[in-house]
Amino acid sequence: MNDKIKKVIIWRMLSFTIAGIISYLYLEEFRKSLELTIILTIVLTTIHYFYEVAWEKKVGCSSIGRTPDC
């Protein structure tokens, strides 16, 4: 698994937890908040991954200050 995918998955795990808590506090219903959180996580994970790919193509990776993600 490449670093981009790992980075996205770790961030989505964190955001899943935060979104779940917020949606539960707002909706006050576990099932609906879980459904909403799962849908958001899937959609935003996909968008985040493609954003990272597009960013790398647009910005590129210079030889100076190269990070492990490049």
Residue 65 backbone class (left: φ over 0; alpha: ψ -120 to 50; beta: rest): left
| 8 Cβ neighbours under 8 A, 6+ residues apart | 45, 48, 49, 52
pLDDT 10s digits, 28-64: 999 999 999 999 888 988 898 898 889 888 887 644 4
The confidence score (pLDDT) of residue 69 equals 56
Q: pLDDT at position 64, please?
A: 47
Is residue 19 pLDDT above 60, yes or no? yes
